[in-house]
Amino acid sequence: MFVLWQTMTYRGLSSLAAEWQFNEFGFYHPALTFLVLVLILCSPLLLLRLVARRRRRREPVEPVSPLQRAIRVTSRLLATLIGAAVAAVLAAIFIAAFTLFLPRDNGPPHHISANDDLTVPALGPAEIRGRVLYDSTAVFNEDFRIGHSDTRFAPMVGDTGDRTAIRYFVELPAYGLPDRQDLISVHRGVLREGGLPGELINLYRYAGFRIAPRYYVLYASGSSMRRSYLVTAAELVVLALFIALVGALYAYRRRRLRRLQEEPEAVEPEVV
């Protein structure tokens, strides 16, 4: 769960691994990074278990029949699959529960000006007045197993267009831009502190933008703010179901092996 939280919030080891991937390969793979970090953190436990198993092998043991060995191997694989399925379900529950702590989208909107750099804005429904830097729009591509999503974000600054410290970002519609992109406009949505994908934060920083320590993102709606979390949770549930299906096959195999083990051995007739 610790690694999952870092991956979701783009912090700690996950952010360091992501930045290294950006510098070396030009892209970042969240799922692969999560799996590698989990393996690295669990490697000491796996190493201790491997050492303990080798020590047990040195001790004299009773001979085991091929049928008993097959049952043991199947049982270990089944336990591993059950653990993986439970972990996937717990991760899905954790991600879905995380969305409950995001700002709500009900209630009257708060009016905010991008010129005000001192007041801490209220989170939730909001209307922000400022100048959107459409020429600095960034697209966040998400490839899910059950679909694809493209979300566009752009910085919003005050009337003067000062870009020294970006404090606000707004989610833009998928298609269509205004004819005049240098005008002051008002955008309405759900305001959240932080929340910009970590990949885009690095992208803007590499482009020379300085992002304020406390920045805010105006999402078009509450559903768009929660979409990636809920889709990820749904994918984890589907993965858990697939693992459970494979586990059911191994459970059926183990049951058959145990039945064979319990069957009395056939007695050959004596030849007179």
Assess whether pLDDT exceeds 70 at residue 173.
yes
d(CA 195, CA 102): 10
Instruction: Specify the higher pLDDT residue, 77 or 22.
Output: 77
Q: Which residues pair with 172 in a beta bridge?
A: 152
d(CA 111, CA 8): 29
What is the SS3 assignment for 168?
A: strand
Give whichever of 49-53, 61-65, 162-166, 210-214 has the largest mean pLDDT. 210-214
Q: What is the pLDDT of residue 268?
A: 41
Question: What is the radius of gyration, based on Cα positions, of the chain?
Answer: 27
What is the SS3 assignment for 137?
A: coil
Q: What is the pLDDT of residue 267?
A: 41
Strand 211-219 relative to strand 166-172: parallel, antiparallel, unpaired? Answer: parallel
Among 17-31, 81-95, 237-251, 258-272, the least confident range: 258-272
Q: Which amino acid is at 248?
A: A
d(CA 53, CA 66): 19
pLDDT class for 234, splitting at 50, 70, 90?
Answer: confident
Burial class (CB in 10 A: 0-12, 13-18, 19+), 153: buried
Q: What is the pLDDT of residue 266?
A: 40
What are the structure tokens assigned to 262, written together? 């319990």
- The answer to whether 157 and 245 have CB atoms below 8 angstroms apart is no
pLDDT tens per residue across span 126-144: 999 999 998 888 887 765 5
pTM of the model: 0.72
Instruction: Specify the higher pLDDT residue, 167 or 84.
Output: 167
- Please compute the mean of the pLDDT values over residues 178-204 and round it to a whole number: 82
DSSP string, 13-52: HHHHHHHHHHHHHS---HHHHHHHHHHHHHHHHHHHHHHH
pLDDT class for 6, splitting at 50, 70, 90?
Answer: low
* DSSP label of 65: -
Averaged pLDDT of the chain = 80
What is the SS3 assignment for 82?
A: helix
Q: Which residues pair with 129 in a beta bridge?
A: 113, 186
Sole residue written with tokens 């799922």: 31
pLDDT class for 271, splitting at 50, 70, 90?
Answer: very low
